[in-house]
Amino acid sequence: MPLQYADDTILFSSAEFPHLVNLKHVIMWFEQISGMRVNFRKSELLTLNLDEVEIKRAASIISCPIGAFTIKYLGVPQHYDNLTREDLQPLVDKLLSRIAGWRGKLLSLAARTLLIKTCLASIPIYLLSFIKFPKWAIQILNSHMGNCLWNDLNDAHKYHLANWEFVAMSKDFGGLGVPNLRDSNICLLASWLRRYEKDKNKLWTEILDFKYNTKDPNILQTRGASPFFKGFMWAVQAAKMGYRWVIGNGEKVRFWEDNWLGTSSLAIQYWKLYRWVNEKNKSVASLWDGTDLKCSFSRMGDENMLELWEEVCQIASTINYSDEEDSMVWQFSSNGRFNVQSFYKVVNFRGIQPVFISSLWDIKIPPRVQYFLWLLSKNKLLTRDNLSKRRKVEDPTCSFCNEESIQHLFFTCVVAKQLWHVFSKTFDIHQLIVSFEDTGKFWLSNKCNGILNMFTLAAVWCLWKLRNDLCFQRSTWKSMAILLFQVAVMVEKWKILYPEEEVISQKVKLFKKEAAQVLWLQWR
Ligand SMILES: [Zn+2]
């Protein structure tokens, strides 16, 4: 039996003497007829369960060198054992060589995230769909991507401002949307389940069915031994909860264990009964014949169990058999068919839906400001209080008054307070902005507050730039009015991002007018 793709050919044979000789003859005839040559020196003989004498004999018949596992087929290491560090090294090298190509480029956090998302994270994707990556492997890849994100590209070490777990969450859940390799691994492996369902009569599914007895009664409860199948089943265990069965002839669905009614299996809903039931992992058809439910229990039931049993019988009586096969429906997509994205969304969700940070990406501001705000929202900017968690900081105060924290620098500092005061007047907001949440709540209604959001974020951005100029550029504080004008100029710069430039120009004018009054006040 051959396996052939592009310029790779694998021939399978039993190790018996006549078979090997025949195989050699077939190859030789092939050479004669086609006029092509098989390069035996570049080919390898791989054996399974043979002793040394037999291996040598086989090699002398075929006349090619003896090889050893792991071999690679289409870039995927083929081995009956788990992935080793050597198997993974080429992948890591590829990642590093890609990063090396970017060295010396001054890129913002936004640009680096984009490079990682589109380039680095996609390198292991192909392998992730075949093999369950061990934890250490994921860690190695993550740490290289982390270094690429936070260090400058000359590899000078910098603080990793946010945990990789956060970075690798989708934007909807408050992350930066870099693919989480572990989650991708589960989802890509689980997608084989869909292919398995689709390719019902193909050779590969028949081999699986034969080898792992997957038809008794369905694949969800199977255990396997090969690395691929183990990884596949690992993913299936997670994907299982997303499937609901539609009963046809009842031969594939397990009565107790599979989810065919409501949101969970009967085993979960009637755990008290299920514990003692003798007929586990049995199909619906084998237990329910239309009139009786054929179950027995390993323990005598009390009154409570009897009640539950009646309920289950009631449920069973609602089953309507048809001639069709039982089918699986994927609950997380609208068409009922599995897709990797919908599963990734479920797996990637870490239980907390952020209130407004996910709306940040819709606001019309430059990406690098968005990333800056993302850090701000996570309290990860290197303000002096955050810096002091990492190293000793001699002076913890801001350039003007009090201890510097994000809350202080952007909202309660004397300078920030004045700025927000002018801001409230321009936009006629009665409640003064005193915290990050106060600006964030306008993000949710970005459609009607688009301009306001541009202004608030320009204000926050300018405060940060001012702070950095005072700290690092040794520039001196000029006046409140200049800061306000800087905000106005910033918004004017950004207005090409916004569909209604005219409206912005008007607001900028108004803002400048308010700013001029501050100037006037100071002169007096
Ligand atoms: Zn201050």
Interval between CA 393 and ligand 1 midpoint (Å):
16
Provide φ and ψ at 301, rounded to 5°: -90, 150
User: What is the DSSP code string of 51-115?
Assistant: -HHHHHHHHHHHT--B--S-EEETTEEE-SS---HHHHHHHHHHHHHHHHHHTT----HHHHHHH
Interval between CA 234 and ligand 1 midpoint (Å):
53
Interval between CA 416 and ligand 1 midpoint (Å):
8
* Gap between the Cα atoms of 515 and 485, Å rounded: 7
Interval between CA 359 and ligand 1 midpoint (Å):
29
Amino acid, res. 456 = T
Please report, for residues 167, 174, 347, 362, 436, the alpha-carbon distance to residue 356 in angstroms, rounded to integers and kept in the order given. 17, 9, 21, 11, 11
Cis peptide upstream of residue 65 (ω within 30 degrees of 0): no
Provide φ and ψ at 343, rounded to 5°: -70, -40
With CA atoms as reference, report the closest residue to 494 among 456, 465, 468: 456
Interval between CA 417 and ligand 1 midpoint (Å):
10
Q: Quick one: 301 exposed, middle or buried, by C-beta within 10 A (0-12, 13-18, 19+)?
A: middle
Interval between CA 421 and ligand 1 midpoint (Å):
16
Q: What is the pLDDT of residues 132-190, one digit of tens each?
A: 998 998 999 999 999 889 887 666 778 899 999 999 999 999 999 999 999 999 999 99
Q: Quick one: 223 exposed, middle or buried, by C-beta within 10 A (0-12, 13-18, 19+)?
A: exposed
Q: For residue 233, what are the β-bridge partners? A: none
Provide φ and ψ at 77, rounded to 5°: -65, 130
Interval between CA 407 and ligand 1 midpoint (Å):
10
Interval between CA 18 and ligand 1 midpoint (Å):
89
Interval between CA 149 and ligand 1 midpoint (Å):
31
Interval between CA 434 and ligand 1 midpoint (Å):
13
Q: For residue 66, what are the β-bridge partners? A: 45
* Gap between the Cα atoms of 470 and 489, Å rounded: 20
Work out the end-to-end distance of the chain between its first and last CA atoms, rounded to an integer number of angstroms.
Answer: 95
* Gap between the Cα atoms of 377 and 379, Å rounded: 5
Per-residue model confidence as pLDDT tens for the chain (524 residues): 777 777 778 888 898 889 999 999 999 999 999 998 888 888 889 988 889 999 999 989 988 899 888 787 777 777 777 778 888 888 888 888 888 888 767 788 899 999 999 999 999 999 899 989 989 989 999 999 998 898 876 667 788 999 999 999 999 999 999 999 999 999 999 999 999 989 988 998 998 889 888 888 888 878 877 888 899 999 998 998 899 999 999 999 999 999 998 788 999 999 988 999 999 889 999 999 888 899 988 887 788 888 999 999 999 999 999 999 999 999 999 999 999 999 999 999 988 788 888 899 999 899 999 999 999 999 999 999 998 998 888 888 888 888 899 999 999 999 999 899 888 888 888 888 899 988 988 998 888 888 899 999 999 999 999 999 998 888 888 888 889 999 999 999 998 888 888 888 888 998 888 888 876 555 44
Residues 6+ away with beta carbon under 8 Å from 517: none
Interval between CA 406 and ligand 1 midpoint (Å):
10
Contact by Cβ (8 Å): 332, 242:
yes
Q: For residue 2, what are the β-bridge partners? A: 11
Chain centroid offset of residue 33 CA: 51
Q: What residue spans of 280-363 are helical by DSSP H? A: 284-287, 303-316, 340-348
- The tokens 């060589």 sit on which residue? 97
Cis peptide upstream of residue 70 (ω within 30 degrees of 0): yes
Q: Count how many residues are written for the chain.
A: 524
Interval between CA 522 and ligand 1 midpoint (Å):
19
Chain centroid offset of residue 66 CA: 41
With CA atoms as reference, report the closest residue to 147 among 186, 189, 103: 103
Interval between CA 355 and ligand 1 midpoint (Å):
28
* Gap between the Cα atoms of 20 and 10, Å rounded: 14
Interval between CA 478 and ligand 1 midpoint (Å):
15
Residues 6+ away with beta carbon under 8 Å from 503: 451
Contact by Cβ (8 Å): 249, 322:
yes
Secondary element (H or E) of residue 9: strand 8-11
Residues 6+ away with beta carbon under 8 Å from 395: 384
Cα dihedral sign for 240, 241, 244, 245?
positive
Chain centroid offset of residue 275 CA: 36
